[in-house]
Chain A
Amino acid sequence: MASEAAHGSSAQFSTFFVADLFFGVDVLRVQEVLRFQQMTRVPQAPEVFEGLINLRGQIVTAIDMRRRLRLPPRSGGQTPMNMVVRTEDGAVSLLVDEIGDVLDAEDTTYERPPENLDPAARELIRGVYKLKDRLLLVLDAERTVDLVAERRA
């Protein structure tokens, strides 16, 4: 992706907030952004799976990014937004706190994630763009949805 691209080029990201973290996903990966939808919860599934939503006849699994990143839960009354991303295994909805703008990030400002990052986050963050006023964390969408609810004996 962007990091491998030639100097001087830039990449476009759809951005969002989870707690105080500012994330970006490759804009081409994002299928759509939705308000909070009514969900059908999935008993016996790990907590990170918030439920299932009906996206125009397609059943999409919603993953709570707070839980995925092992962050404290959202404060009461705050409804998350759905960021539906396309993955190798179909569309998956990421539940995030707030949706940000679509941003261009210069490749020259890109850096590998710091080594001392929390393991839960490090696994999912591919790199960091040093924007003028804040850091944009590049989310690895494939890894984010690479979760399997095991059958419990």
Chain B
Amino acid sequence: MQDQEVIREFLVESHENLSRLDQELVELERRPRDQALLASIFRTIHTIKGTCGFLGFTTLEAITHQAESLLSQLRDGQRELTPALVSLILETVDVTRRVLAAIEASGEEGPESFGELTERLRAAAQRGDAVPDGSVPESAAGGSGDAPREEEIAKSSAVADANIRVGVGLLDKLMDLVGELVLTRNQILQFNTEREDAALNATSQRLNLITTELQEGVMKTRMQPIGMVWNKLPRVVRDMAVALGKQVRLDMDGADTELDRTIIEAIKDPLVHLVRNACDHGIEVPEIRMRAGKAAQGRLTLRAYHEGGQVNIEIGDDGAGIDAARVKQKAVEKGLLRPEQADKLSDREIVNLIFHPGFSTAQTVTNVSGRGVGMDVVKSHIEKIGGVVDVISRPGEGSTVKLKIPLTLAIIPGLVVNSGGERFVIPQVSLLELIRLEGDSSDKHIERVHGTPVLRRRGSLLPIAYLNQVLGLEAAPADAVSIVVLQAEDRQFGLVVDGIQDTQEIVVKPLGKQLKGLSVYAGATIMGDGRVALILDVLGIGQRSGVLAESREQARAAVEQKTQAGQEQQRLLLFRAGSFERLAVPLSLVARLEEFPRGSIERASGCRVVQYRNRILPLVPLRGVLEPGAPEPAQTDDVVQVVVFNDGERSVGVVVDQILDVAEEAVTVRQKSSRKGLLGSAVVGQKVTDFLDLNEVIRTANEIWFQGTRETAAGTKVLVADGSAFSRGLIRSGLDMAGYRVREAATVDEAVRALEQELPTVVVVAADLPPGGSAALLTAMRRCPEWASIPLLALTDPETSGAADLRGAGFQDCQAKFDREAMLDSVARLASALAQAEPVPVCVGEEE
């Protein structure tokens, strides 16, 4: 059985054509030499013949074929038109109608073969001069010929009657009007909420329902099955396969999935391109397929289905898949990525680089694809209509391109937000979740990584952008922070807005030509109060604010994230240098991991340096510090691995042989070391690992490095009181590096003993110091007037719930436990305040 849909289309179209034929033929009798008319009649018959052949309706094909021959002679002027001929053709039209009716009723042509008519048509065409006698009376004899015809016309076709062809322009106009109605409805609803009128309430509810139904109905009239676009793909695939010497089978699933007309238009070209691409780059030639143990014939699968208010379209092939290594190599060659960045990307991220402008991995440029234009265009086309493209590759098994497309563009649900006193709408499609941070410490939850605001969300860091900053609006004072978590492409970010209102159905209206270039807006809409609100373009906002930078930045951000995450989980960076196979340093002290080409290392004042981020970064070869006098090994690599440590304004790079890993396990054993440059050793990951004494390493290698800080920090004694040996060590190394003299205490008693022995300048105390917490130490210190004036810095664990700000509770300052920079800042301030005999407490602002 053929596809019902196709036959229906054929019936509708043929009925229309036949009605026109009746008219045209009659017209032709009056103007027999009208070439345009003849051509039109010929085309109509030809179309029916062609479709019949395609659908396998042989009887109809035979009849129309003969009629076509006859008409072509007329058209070419080989013979004159006579009334008899017109009758003959009209008779053909009637027979065609009858057959169509049979097809409509049963799906088959019916038993009649109309051999006699076919024969007469053939004879007329052959004779080339006149219609044979006898046929004229037969066809024009009226009686038998006319009766069924009139009956048929009266009966007409149920299919044709049930369908009306409507101009697209009218549908678009209707859609516009529905849009207006939706807006008016919104206005009425808003009006209704302001008054308490039962009658108005009931009416507006009804209006609401009807509008919604009407909207859905009109939207449906614009829906078309995706098969409309797909039906030209078999031909594309066939031609491609022949041209490339491949065998390709095309399977289509879900051709009846419906999409809005405008979207069908928009995805037409991208789809064709993706299919061509799959044939060209995806599916291999038969020999290679056989060698790989696959069937010689490749399979291309198109799938479309509805999912969550969107349409998913998948273009899959069972070819070779995308070679991530080659993509990577190509990306590096083309300068899209630096080699060390490429190594940090996952295979999936690399494969998605094929959508990067100017990218093509085809080794030979064929005439069909491989010119490096296309995939990026596909992506931009799909994104323009609010869609998303993703590619998944299974090496050796094929690849699948997934498109996620919205159902319609005209009316979308959107979230209304405020920023800087203005209203904006965010399309719901991009919306993931809403976060509200309340209370005094609300803005504390937003932390900063190298100046970039981030939010901890379920264990990972979410980059944050401020809408008012992106748009250059005034910030409104608020007691809570509202964050809208958005998805753009495959990345997420949080957008801080002044307020979140509600979700609404909005009608997307384009901005005027003058404002279209502003990438942060997707359009505008009219709100319930009649005023205009701008619709935000999530991708544009993300790019403008810098949270969605290029993939290069992504790799860097990944390292930064790692570093940041290490702080909370107390991770260790493991590396190798010289004969020390396993060295460790707390990851929290590491600013970055970098690779520098060996050639970029220069010498300045007897020290190795490298230009780094517009500064000079001194380099310390760890091997030389730990094993002085050992011969320099042969330089095999052309890049050096550097661990960058940051200390306020200055940075130093420690050159190691190889970065091994990041360990998460808790340190179990610690043994003091007498060796210079090492703190001690411990078991990390079931292997003995040496802990680097960073302070010593840097001092040994570069005496001048800390000269600046020695003067201010030297002699400044800091007592660190913390129950956890690990975090004590962490705090200590930070203070050590800054040049403070540090004493440690694990309990309140130990701290008191330390105070008795030597008066520190500043006391740093963990909020959870055992026993009794930091408050116990505070009470103990209050008892002695000598101790009471020592400034206290409390460190709270931001992860512990109930971590209150202890500032004002007797502590001069309070910081997050693992925020090293803030801690150092605070200690320095407290120490200098004391030196200048300025009254404590000291106010410490938010760290920037």
Contacts and interface: CB of A to CB of B under 8 A. Distances in A.
A149 B422 contact: no
A39 B524 CA distance: 13
Contacts of A41: 422
Contacts of B530: 54
A105 to B, nearest CB: 29
Interface string A10-51: 000000000000000000000000000011111111000101
B514 A40 contact: no
Contacts of B519: 151
A117 to B, nearest CB: 24
A72 interface: no
Given A40-B531, A40-B533, A42-B521, A145 B526 contact: no
B511 interface: yes
Contacts of B532: 39-40, 51-54, 59
Interface string B495-524: 000000000000001011111111111001
A149 B473 contact: no
A148 B513 contact: yes
B496 to A, nearest CB: 15
Interface string B163-187: 0000000000000000110010000
A67 to B, nearest CB: 13
Main SS class of interface, B: mixed
A89 interface: yes
Interface residues of B, number: 29
A147 interface: yes
Interface string B416-446: 0000101100000000000000000000000
Interface in A33-92: 38-45, 49, 51-54, 57-61, 63, 89-90, 92
Contacts of B531: 38, 40, 54
Contacts of B420: 43
Nearest to A43: B471
Interface string B364-399: 000000000000000000000000000000000000
Interface string B753-786: 0000000000000000000000000000000000
Nearest to A63: B514
A133 interface: no
Contacts of B526: 54, 57, 59
Given A43-B471, A44-B471, A89-B513, A57 B518 contact: no
A150 interface: yes
B845 interface: no
Given A40-B533, A59-B524, A148 B509 contact: no
A45 B524 contact: no
B89 interface: no
B183 A145 contact: no
B45 interface: no
Contacts of B511: 52, 59, 61
A148 B534 contact: no
A151 to B, nearest CB: 4
Nearest to B518: A149
Contacts of B802: none
B517 A43 contact: no
Contacts of B180: 57
B472 interface: yes
A59 B509 contact: yes
B512 A89 contact: yes
A43 B515 contact: no
Interface in A119-141: none
Contacts of B471: 43-44
B422 A49 contact: no
Contacts of B517: 148-151
B421 to A, nearest CB: 10
Most buried by A among B179, B518, B533: B518
Given A40-B532, A42-B534, A54-B530, A61 B514 contact: yes
Contacts of B540: 151
Contacts of B183: 57
A138 B533 CA distance: 34
Nearest to B421: A41
Interface string B821-847: 000000000000000000000000000
Contacts of B520: 44
A52 B516 CA distance: 13
Nearest to A89: B513
Contacts of A59: 509, 511-512, 524, 526, 532
A59 B422 CA distance: 17
Nearest to A90: B512
A89 B515 CA distance: 12
Given A41-B422, A44-B471, A52 B524 contact: yes
Contact of B515 (A54, A57, A61): A61
B533 A149 contact: no
A21 to B, nearest CB: 22
Contacts of A58: 509
A54 B532 CA distance: 6
A93 to B, nearest CB: 10
A148 B622 CA distance: 57
Nearest to B513: A89
Contacts of A92: 512, 514
16 contacts: A38-B531, A40-B524, A40-B534, A42-B521, A44-B472, A45-B515, A45-B518, A52-B511, A59-B511, A59-B524, A61-B515, A63-B514, A89-B514, A92-B512, A148-B513, A149-B518
Given A40-B533, A57-B179, 16 more contacts: A40-B524, A43-B420, A43-B422, A43-B471, A44-B472, A45-B518, A52-B534, A53-B532, A57-B526, A61-B512, A89-B514, A92-B512, A145-B514, A148-B517, A149-B515, A149-B517
The 5 closest A-B pairs by CB, nearest first: A43-B471, A61-B512, A40-B532, A89-B513, A52-B532
Interface of A: 38-45, 49, 51-54, 57-61, 63, 89-90, 92, 145, 147-151
